[in-house]
Amino acid sequence: MKACRFDAILPGSGYRIDRDKCTSCGECVNSCYYGALVRYGREKTSEEVFEEVLKDKMFYDYSGGGVTVSGGEPLLYPEFVFELFSLCKKSGINTCIETCGFVSPSAFELVFPVTDYFYFDLKLINPTLHMKCTGCNNELIHKNARYIVQRGANVLFRQPLIPQCNDTDDNIRETAKFISGFGRDIALELMPFHRAGKTKYEALDMTYPTKDLKPMTEEQIMAVRDKYLNYGVSCSISK
């Protein structure tokens, strides 16, 4: 309690952090004798991250794999990604970005020359439903998708498959139409909803918003995949 300058540590039993006051400064973690508090993540320069990457270069060379930046959304920090990927390319290491696409087009323009692969989310095609389920419009997402495809990027579209949200016939049809409209053989990977994030919400003292949502059965997932295949879209399921 004494270590916190913001009076965010509460006395008594149970969960003892006032999230409204907490600034995530980390002083309570440094002062916790028992190691009960853990702070995840550290700030590093692109050069420091690249030093970690180089430790696995033998594996990359043997497997043909490379480095993937994920998130959150990595393209909120395009300069960092550009610096890291530039170092990777100089060392012959393949590069990949996982993105939701909801970033400035200038971010894609910056990293494009040093990026070998893009994993690009397509959650919902209908703009009204996209706004309802994600809180943002998808116009910018579609614009960026068109940009990287038209520039000849190696891209895999991915769809988090959420029951009662984007597993409808309408969304499947419209997503297939969007992908087929590029005139290239671009694949789609389905990523079925699961509950793996539940413990993370609990650790952060956050309400798990999908506690009543049940994962789809294997038969239901396969049925969605088959619908995409029938529309002529090469579709797989993430395992």
156 bridge partner residues: 119
pLDDT for 15: 62
3-class state of residue 93 by DSSP: coil
Burial class (CB in 10 A: 0-12, 13-18, 19+), 107: buried
pLDDT at position 205: 76
pLDDT at residue 231, rounded to an integer: 97
Tokens encoding 72: 């959150």
d(C-alpha 106, C-alpha 230), whole Å: 36
pLDDT at 51: 96
Give SS3 for 183.
coil
- Spell out the CATH class of 45-237: alpha beta
**pLDDT computed for residue 70 by the predictor:** 95
- pLDDT recorded at residue 14: 65
User: How far, in Å, CA of 110 to CA of 78, rounded?
Assistant: 7
The C-alpha atoms of residue 101 and residue 107 are separated, in whole angstroms, by 10
Give the domain ranges of the chain: 1-41, 45-237
Question: Consecutive sets of 10 residues in the chain, 239 residues long: mean pLDDT of each?
Answer: 89 78 89 83 92 94 93 95 97 97 97 98 96 95 97 96 94 97 94 90 83 92 97 95
Q: Whole-angstrom Cα distance, residue 168 to residue 123?
A: 12
